[in-house]
Amino acid sequence: MSQENVEIVRRSFEAFNTRDVDGLVNLSAEECEWLPLRAQLEGIVYRGHEGVRQFVSDMDEDWESFRIDPLEFHARRDRVAVLGQVLALGHSGVQIDSIAGFVFELDQGRIRRITSHSDPERALEAVRPSE
């Protein structure tokens, strides 16, 4: 199942980068939760399919361009941790070029939860075997 989960996550990055909102919705569970960095700072959780649509709308409102190029996938059970290159240009002119971590939790082939981490190591902790 881990490789299948990696493929689902890979497809979600492709859909996000092309702003294929319907594709993102189709990959996500009905009761999904998305916790991108900014939303975490503001105490927001994007929930359900409407939340996915709102997340993409908010991203487009805040950024002239924003993409995440996955560099590494690490899978364990129902989780996939991804290290990705974030490349963004804000409407204000602010630019981002950094590595971030993302933890995807999947259930029955659908994304149940995504949590973003500014520290990629935090994402990797989610897939390490517990001692």
pLDDT for 3-53, tens place per residue? 999 999 999 999 999 999 999 999 999 999 999 988 888 898 999 999 999
Domain span at 75: 2-125
pLDDT in tens, 71-107: 999 999 999 999 999 999 999 999 999 999 999 999 9
The answer as to whether 130 is a domain residue is: no
The answer as to whether 131 is a domain residue is: no
Residue range 113-125: mean pLDDT, rounded: 95
With b meaning 16 or more CB within 10 Å and e meaning fewer, what string describes 81-117? bbbbebebeeeeeeeeeeebbbbbbbeeeebbbbbbb
To the nearest 10°, report the CA torsion of 114, 99, 11, 23. Answer: 60
Question: Which element (helix H / strand E) includes 67?
Answer: strand 63-76
CATH no. for residue 121?
3.10.450.50
Tokens for 81?
A: 């941790």
The pLDDT value given to residue 1: 53
Q: How many domains does the chain have?
A: 1
- Cβ atoms of 121 and 74 closer than 8 Å: no
